[in-house]
Amino acid sequence: MASRKIRTMGDEILRKVAKPVTEMNLRNKMLIKDMFETMYKAEGVGLAAPQVGVLKRIFVMDCSADKSRAMALINPEILETEGEQTGDEGCLSVPGKHATVTRPMKVTVRALNEQMEEFTMTVEGLEARCVLHENDHLDGILYPDKADGPLIDNEAEEE
C-alpha cells in the first residue's frame, strides 16, 4: 500500500479531462487501493484520480464517520439531479481553503465498480455533493470555479 502525492491547484493536470477506463487490471487495482489510502490519510471524503496525477475516470469516496461506505466509481455518469443545497466545500487540491458552493441536493449516478460491473445509485446531501465534486475533477473542474463567494482561508477564520 502506498499513499500518493496530492496535486494542488496550479498543477495543469487538474485542468485536463480524464480518459475512460477500458479494463480492470493490476495497475488500476493498485491505483484504486492507493487512492483509498491517500484519501483516508488526508482525511478527505473523496479523491479523484487526477488529484494523484492519473488522468483516468476513477474516483473513490467515503462520507461515513466510521469508514463504512467506501466506494470506487469508474467511468461515472450523472443521470439525474434534483433539488439544491448550499454549503461549505473544501478540496484536498486547494489546501487550507473553503468556500460556499450551491449544488443539487440529490444525484443519481451510474458507474462501474472495481469488478467493472455497472451499478446505479442515488445519494443525497454530503454524498451527493461529494459525487458531483469528484465528477467535476474528472472534467478538470475545481470547486472555486463554481463557488458562490470568495475562497476563505481556514487559518484566518479561526481568530
Q: Which residues bind ligand GNR (CB under 6 A)?
A: 44-48, 51, 89-93, 129-130, 133-134, 137
The maximal CA–CA distance of the chain, rounded, in angstroms, is 50
* Residue 24 or 40 with smaller CB distance to Ni ion: 40
Site string for Ni ion, 77-96 (x = CB under 5 A): --------------x-----
Q: Is 21 or 137 the residue whose CB approaches Ni ion more closely?
A: 137
CA distance 30 to 6: 16
Query: Backbone dihedral region of 125: left (phi > 0), alpha (psi from -120 to 50 degrees) or beta?
Result: left
Establish whether 134 is a catalytic residue: yes
Q: Is 58 in the site for Ni ion (CB under 5 A)?
A: no
Q: Which does 28 bind (CB under 5 to 8 A by kind): ligand GNR, Ni ion, none?
A: none
Choose, from 134, 157, 158, 159, the residue flagged as catalytic: 134
Q: In Å, what is the CA distance from 44 to each residue of 32, 36, 69?
A: 15, 10, 13
Whole-angstrom distance, CA of residue 57 vs CA of residue 19: 6
Q: How far apart are CA 57 and CA 157, in angstroms?
A: 35
What amino acid positions are annotated as catalytic residues?
A: 134
For binding to Ni ion (CB under 5 A), which residues are involved?
91
